[in-house]
Structure 1
């Protein structure tokens, strides 16, 4: 899953065409009314056919168009987004401009812009907590956006393949979950990893050490996703 929106043409937000149609109809508006509202309030000229095309899922609005559309439909931008994936999309869903978000989390505007454009997180714990609160981020997204996923992957890999007990506290520093829950998940991942390795050695007569290693690598390749699934926080 992408962390940020990288350089080049901005990726259009994941638009919920059905929600847009439903909201428009609930207001008793036609695509022409919506197009007029977008132009009158935001100065963005779109044709009624364009609005209809958005609702059919044939095309999707840009960030500016989506914000204007939300205004015309009297809803929050987040109501027109299916599932935010990047930091920019979470910000857009919250209805915040980049400079406003930077101010609210106490981060320099240029530093935030660089982060959203694909840069690395250079903020502190206080700013990370503020980012989580302002954007209402799921824990997996917060870990990803603040550059902690690689560290978490390394620790989970070691916990599954060696002694998991030594990684309960370090994982807890990255993922603020109850200690008992982290213990249970790490123990489960450790058991599943070793069961996977052992099972591949017993695949009929063709089982081999190399097949066991391949099975183990495949398990570890998805270790972060497995961790979030077992915590009930699939990211």
Structure 2
């Protein structure tokens, strides 16, 4: 007798971020009830334990579907898995969101499947520049996501911290090595961030808050430095 897999009530840390409101919205748009979704997943995708209550729990965000469940749910709802996923954060999540098999990614980047899956599981990209470029193409990664999934975001944050707190000119080329942008764009963005940071610190001091308030305000600015950088890049290149 085959053992029937039961869904876990605990969140699956390996599962992609699930967009519960999107699942509910897509089901309603099709005129389906949770019972229809559950039936389709049981009959067509071999998931006999899926009940209307489980579908409702997914839509409420109290339970997260596993990868096979997410794929089956997307098929029943006539959508791509990416439409049921929140903003991807990791290499694995980007691949799942685009419904690309790991074998296809490994082939496209010229890497053996086991090695690719190992890097995906460890969130430790070690591909060379050619493989990184191929990865960006096969997963259609924009530049901020490419920097994040290839493990360059922490280094970029360090460079940006130094650029806004010291001489920004010295960090143009190092930033360009991590984020392949035109030199003029990087120069203008770094100069603007430097001015924003210095002006923010000066304004805080002038309000009479003293060095402690300035320090806290400066830390807050630096905590958002990567997001500020990409926002400035987007505004400049739009």
Q: C-alpha distance in 1, partners of 2:12/2:82?
A: 22
Contact 2:34–2:53 (CA<8 Å) still a contact in 1? yes
**TM-score (normalizing by structure 1):** 0.81
Query: How many Å apart are 1:59 and its aligned residue?
Result: 2.6
Within the alignment, does 1:232 sit opposite 2:203 as a pair? no
- Counterpart for residue 42 of structure 2: 39
**TM-score (normalizing by structure 2):** 0.80
- Counterpart for residue 4 of structure 1: none
Within the alignment, does 1:189 sit opposite 2:193 as a pair? yes
CA distances 1:57-103 after superposition (whole Å, capped 9, x unpaired): 34331111010111122221111123222222211111123333222
Query: How many Å apart are 1:214 and its aligned residue?
Result: 5.1
The answer to which structure, 1 or 2, has the higher relative contact order (CA under 8 A, 6+ apart) is 1
**Aligned counterpart in structure 2 of residue 146 of structure 1, from 142, 150, 170:** 150
In structure 2, do the counterparts of structure 1 residues 96 and 41 end up closer, same or farther at CA, with 3 Å as the change threshold?
Answer: farther
CA distances 1:10-32 after superposition (whole Å, capped 9, x unpaired): 34332233332333344444333
Which secondary structure state, in structure 2, belongs to the residue aligned with residue 117 of structure 1?
A: helix
- Counterpart for residue 5 of structure 1: none
Q: C-alpha distance in 2, partners of 1:221/1:24?
A: 38
- Counterpart for residue 103 of structure 1: 107
Query: How many Å apart are 1:202 and its aligned residue?
Result: 2.9
- Counterpart for residue 219 of structure 1: 221
Q: C-alpha distance in 1, partners of 2:177/2:97?
A: 28
Task: Work out the number of aligned pairs and report it.
Answer: 224
Unaligned residue ranges in structure 2 (runs of 5+): 1-10
Query: How many Å apart are 1:142 and its aligned residue?
Result: 1.1
Unaligned residue ranges in structure 1 (runs of 5+): 1-7
In structure 2, do the counterparts of structure 1 residues 218 and 54 end up closer, same or farther at CA, with 3 Å as the change threshold?
Answer: closer
Question: What is the CA RMSD across the aligned residues, in angstroms?
Answer: 2.6
In structure 2, do the counterparts of structure 1 residues 25 and 223 end up closer, same or farther at CA, with 3 Å as the change threshold?
Answer: closer
Q: C-alpha distance in 2, partners of 1:30/1:194?
A: 56
